[in-house]
Amino acid sequence: MNEYKYLIVGGGMTTGAAIDGIRSVDKEGRIGLITAEADGPYDRPPLTKDLWKGDKQVADIRYEIPAGVELFTERQVTALDLAQKQVIDVEDRVYR
């Protein structure tokens, strides 16, 4: 089982802000990030604008995952067990 002080489900464009917010009050707490996408968080608005116009490269829009954050990609969450404070993915992997 993967255990974290903080567990973020989803890799949307607010994920980086969530991680930065956690880090602003807790520099050491382990963070787990689970996303169904193949890549980690990135800034989507430039993806549809600057990337296609050639003003930015893919590397320019990716959020750099800081130390202490473990990223799990291509993992679809299928259950939240609030009583046990755990998340279960499609392959029955458990995260707490």
User: Greater confidence, 22 or 1?
Assistant: 22
Kindly report the CATH number that applies to the domain delimited by 6-95.
Answer: 3.50.50.60
**DSSP annotation of 62:** B
Instruction: Report the distance separating Cα 88 and Cα 30, nearest Å.
Output: 18
pLDDT digits (tens, 9 = 90+) for 16-44: 889 999 999 999 999 999 999 888 777 65
Cα–Cα dist 89/77, whole Å: 4
User: pTM value?
Assistant: 0.77
Torsion of CA 31, 32, 33, 39, to 10 degrees: 100
Residue 8, CB-side half-sphere exposure with 13 Å CA sphere: 27
Which residues make Cβ contacts (< 8 Å) with residue 84, sequence separation at least 6?
96
pLDDT on residue 57: 58
69 near 55, Cβ under 8 Å?
A: no
Given a cut of 80, is residue 6 above it in pLDDT?
yes
pLDDT tens, 81-91? 999 999 999 99
Label residue 64 by pLDDT band (50, 70, 90): confident
17, 3 in Cβ contact below 8 A?
no
